[in-house]
A and B are shown apart, each in its own frame.
Chain A
C-alpha cells in the first residue's frame, strides 16, 4: 500500500531581532510545534532534518543536526542531517522528509529550520551575505545583499510589462496587513498605500516596504504518513501532493529567462509540481509565495499561473491576493512582514497552508482544499514549489 506523506503539526518562535542563540530559537520553535500536537512526544520522532544556511558563518557551527537533535530532545534513528538551500532550506527539508516517509525509510520526521543572523557587530551579517550568491562571480560585485538585483528585476518588469510602483506597494500593504495581528511576525503593523509610496528609498524603484527585513527565527513541522498521523490527531489531514525544485543557473550572467523579469525556472517548477499533484493553477485556493521583495510576488503570481504573464502587477494591485480575491497570497504576512530567517521560511509557509487547509488560519480562506508554497533562493537561482491538499493524489 502506498504511504502518503502529510504535514501533521507545526510551530514557530517569535521572529525578529532576537536576544537569543541559534539553538535557543530552535528549542522555542520545537516547543511551539509540539504544543500544536500535544499527543506527540519527542521520543515518537525518529528523524530530524535541520535547514539552516548561516549557522556556519554567524554561529560558527557546521554539522548542525546533532546539535539541534540534542537540544530539542530528539534521538533520531532513521535520519539526522542538515540541508542548505538558503531561502528554500525549509521547503527542501519538507520534500526530503516526504520522500523518506513515503519510501518507508523514516516514519515521523521533524523538519526544523532557523537562522540567527544578527551578530554582535552589525557589519558581519551584511558582509557575510556575499556568500549568499555565487561568491567569486556575483558576490564580488557587491551582489550579496539582494536589493540591487531585485531593483534591476523590477525595472525590467516595468519596462517589459508596464507594472507600476503603486502595484508593488499594493503587495507590501496586503502582506503587512495580513501580519498586523500575527503574534510571531517581525512586523506587526498595518500599512497604508500612502505610507508604502512615501517610504525611504533603498535602491530605486525599491523602497523600504518593498524589501523583507533581516530576521532571527526558527520554525518546526512534523512530516509523517497519513496512517501514522491518524493515531495522533482528529484534525483533517493535509497531504503533500506534489513538489518540484528547479535550478538552471547559479551565476547571474546565466539567468535562464529572456530578461530578469522572465522567470523560466519558476514556470518549470510550477508546471512540474502541478503535474505531480494532478492539479492546475486554477485549483489553488491559497498560496504562500516568496515575497522577499514586492516585485517577486508580482512575478510569481504570473509564473505560477494565477494570472497571465505580465499581468502580475494588475493582479496584485486589484486585490486579487487579498481575502476574497482570486488567490489570497501570503495570508500570514509573507516574508515582507513575518521576516525571513532563511531555513525557516519554507516551514512557516507549510504551517500556514496546513492551517488554511484545516480551517484554522487567522485569515481563513473559505473552503481552502488545495494550497501552494513557493521559494526562490540565491540570486534568483533556484525555485521550489510544494502543493498541499486535503486529499492524497489518486
Chain B
C-alpha cells in the first residue's frame, strides 16, 4: 500500500509514525512489562536493593541506581477519581468517546494513574466507579531481520474498563 505523496514508502513501516510503543525485546529492555500484560498482569519494577517500586518500569532504580530490579504486580482493579469524555474531534487512532480517567489503584506509586477507559459508552461513568484492567491487541511491529526478512512481533496494550455489575 503506497503512502500518499511518498511513493517510495510503499509497504515500508516508519516507526516515527507509530503511536504504539516499540515493545519488542530487540528495541526495549522493559519488554517484560508487555509480556506480562499478555498474561493479564499489570506490573512494574521494584528495586531489590532499596525496595523502591517505580512506575513506569525502569532498567535502573531512580533512587539508588541499582540494576537489581524485579517485576511486581500492581492491582488490576481501581476506582475512578475523576474522568473526562471527548465525544467530538477525537484524534486519529482513537474512537469516540475518548474517555480518560485518573484511577486510584490503592497502592504507591499507582494512586493516580491516568488511563484511557474503554468498553464504555459516553454518559454512564461516575466518579468512584470501579474499573479493571483491559488488555487488547495492537498492530504487530514489523522488524527487519536482514536475510530472514521481516518478522512480525505481536503487541498488546492496556486501558481500564468498567467492572460489570
Contact = CB atoms under 8 A, between A and B. Distances in A.
Interface stretch (B35-43, B83-91, B142-150): B83-91
B21 A140 contact: yes
Contacts of A140: 19-21, 157
A142 B91 contact: yes
A141 interface: yes
Contact of B92 (A123, A252, A259, A260): A123
B1 to A, nearest CB: 16
B157 A155 contact: no
B51 interface: no
B106 interface: no
Interface of A: 57, 123, 126-127, 129-130, 135-145, 147-149, 151-152, 155-156, 159, 201-204, 251-255, 259-260
The 10 closest A-B pairs by CB, nearest first: A136-B21, A151-B84, A252-B114, A141-B116, A142-B94, A148-B100, A253-B113, A203-B86, A148-B84, A126-B91
Contacts of B110: 253
Contacts of A252: 114
B19 A127 contact: yes
A252 B98 CA distance: 17
Contacts of B109: 253-254
Which has the most chain B C-beta neighbours within 10 Å: A123, A141, A152?
Answer: A141
A127 B92 contact: yes
Chief secondary structure at chain A's binding surface:
helix
Given A140-B20, A204-B85, 20 more contacts: A57-B16, A126-B91, A127-B17, A127-B93, A129-B91, A130-B19, A130-B93, A139-B19, A140-B19, A141-B114, A142-B94, A143-B114, A147-B86, A148-B100, A152-B100, A152-B114, A156-B82, A253-B55, A253-B110, A255-B112
A149 B102 CA distance: 10
7 contacts: A130-B93, A140-B20, A142-B91, A152-B84, A152-B100, A202-B86, A259-B81
Contacts of B82: 152, 155-156, 159, 260
B112 A253 contact: yes
Contacts of A152: 82-84, 100, 102, 114
A138 B114 CA distance: 8
A156 B110 CA distance: 18
Quick one: which of A142, A147, A201, A204 has the most chain B CB within 10 A? A142
Interface string B1-38: 00000000000000011011100000000000000000
B113 A142 contact: no
B24 to A, nearest CB: 13
A138 B115 CA distance: 8
Contact of A149 (B21, B100, B115): B100
